A and B are shown apart, each in its own frame.
Chain A
Amino acid sequence: MFIEDLRNDFYNVLLGNRVLLLVHYDVDAICTCKILQGLFKCDNISYTLVPVGGVAELKTAYEENNEEIKYVVLVNCGGTIDLVDILQPEEDVVFFVLDSHKPTDICNVYSDGQVRLVYKDIEENIPNFDDIFREDEDEEEEKHESGMEALEAAVERRREHRAWEERRHTLMFNYTQFSYYGKPSACVALELSWLVSRCGWVALWAGSVAAASHVALCARTPAQCLLDTDALHRRVASTQHANNDTSCRVVLEKDAWLPLYRWWSLEAALRHAPVIAPHMRLHTHAGAATLRQLLADMGFPLQQARQSYRSMDVELRHSVLSSLESCAPRHRLPVPSQAAFLLQRPHAPPQSAHDMVYAILALIEHVSQ
């Protein structure tokens, strides 16, 4: 079933109880987890945090930790599988699922309160209850009639049943044939933190990193990404007016779409940018020459572009975006800039949400002892 009121039906239910948090290994889930942890710490909600990588791990994690736990929150996992069937929980355990993987499993949608979905995506075309589930009344009615009418009625009913089944089959096929991503879970968690009035820059930053991850990994179309982050834009805009000079702020600015250019050298960033490199065919023999041509057009000396970004001249650094935009049409590149979230910290260089996405991905995939 879907939850209507985030605050009363989800958060207030968890207050005062112990919660099991099962989190998947992806950037969006990690950001959501960060926001939820912040909220739980403020309200002293005891929780046990277990990262899970797949369905098998989900099962083991649930089995190990399910003593005396009444509320389980699943972040980016469990939405597309039949939870009650796989985990075999007890009657009074409640699952809250916040999953951006779609399509949501039908049994989870029409569960009668044990599995509660925190966010309803409007673009999902979830089939109606009557089209999928139907009680079997056939056997009962047969006894009451007799004779020819009974036979005809029986045949009629069976035909109707078969037609209904075919319709159901098509509906389910259409519903489950593609799997895709919905709104980032962190944006939902951000709404929740706004509703309980605990939306600080940490939560905003986590939300922006999650939104950036969907853009960077091309999980959603650009139009949909923009719609998702609509609420986020509004929140960021409202905090920009607050005059707080000493702490960190999240701002929305136009930024060059070169991942990690602030940490590498400009040339390396251009060579690895997904917007630029394939279009300019930098992987071919002539690619190096094309890159040098682009840098020359932008007005950057080659030696400067090869050093680390921080050691470039200040004027050059400030003109990266504008020179890139002006050169782009000449080389037939798509628009190399986008609206990006930046974290401005006092006494430190600003951080881009995109860079954070790649950094977190690297950490997730790096297996250390």
Chain B
Amino acid sequence: MKIGVYRLSVERAEAPSPTRVALGALLAVALALLLASVLFWTPESGPWAAYRIAFGYAFVNPSGLGATVHRAVYLLLCTLAFLIPLRGGLWNIGLPGQVYAGALAAFAVPFWAGARELSSGTAGGVALVSMPLAAALAGAALGALVGLLRAKLAVNEILVTMMLNSVMFWLVSDFIKEGGAFMSATAEGESFTLPEVFRPPLPLGLPPSAFLGLAAAVVVDFVFSRAAAGYRVRTFGLNPHAARYAGIDPVRVSLWVFVLGGAFSGLAGYHYFAAVPGLYKIPTNYGYYGDLSFYGIICALIARGSALGAVPMALLFAGLSVGGRFAQGALRLPFGVDYAILGLLMTTFVLSHLVDRYRVVWQRAAPAPTSAPPRPEGAR
């Protein structure tokens, strides 16, 4: 396109700079928030009032802030669960299924210890270690199945993880409803409530899983940027064929990224259902918490695979979902504002890919000749 003496064109950018990538991520979030303001709009109050209510509750109100931080930890763990396989070029969208597996395994520990009959403390510290460990192992086992199928037989991991999500969703129902093993004594379609002795301590108001998640983010970034294991996973993710020629074992990479991813999801299940104050059970609407794990996908994608970069994203999206729900009630908005924001964020992330892949070139056009060049002598 020509504007005055300048020519404007769009060209492919083969290797986007880090600045362009960061700009794309910021634009994605800003555009999603702008689009979401339409959802928040009501005749009585404009969109900014809704944002004020949402962010005020999520980040200023003490009760809301607590909920935001706990949710942010959950999202961070889910982010790690998605991010590690993603660096290996694999999509772990089985986060909800692995979260459910982790929750069931965590609750199996007090169940076997006879928690339903416990009224006073006899469990001790062993349960506080064994519950998150069981959760991580259950998630890892589910991840290992996906990783093995992918590594050995090249089975599509997206389909397998989605199928496992549904399998685990119904298995949780089997455990907590209609006479299920973990059903509460009140038979309200939820699990028994954890006795106090099985609840983890809350130093600084946070369960140990929160500190574990933050430490894991540091380690994951270090491994991917400095360690040989991270290099192998990244190489495999960028070009599996080249990785094979470089002696990288595709079976080990596929298996381990899914095992680790599953372990983090399982831990996320433990965190939300067994370690967050106010819950300490698998509630009837456990599917909502499973759906929330998809925010982990967005965090990892927008942070472009950086675990520490995902921390502020997790905090922001946790605040948006917690505050969005609060604003939804306060302004009588339709249900599902947090789901809509999830969808919009994913769309704007896809659009932000364009910012990475294309660049606008603004060049001064060569001046057009004003008159015909003089004809050489003797020319006819």
Q: Is chain B a partner of chain A in the same complex? A: no
Residues of B within 8 A of A (CB): none
Residues of A within 8 A of B (CB): none
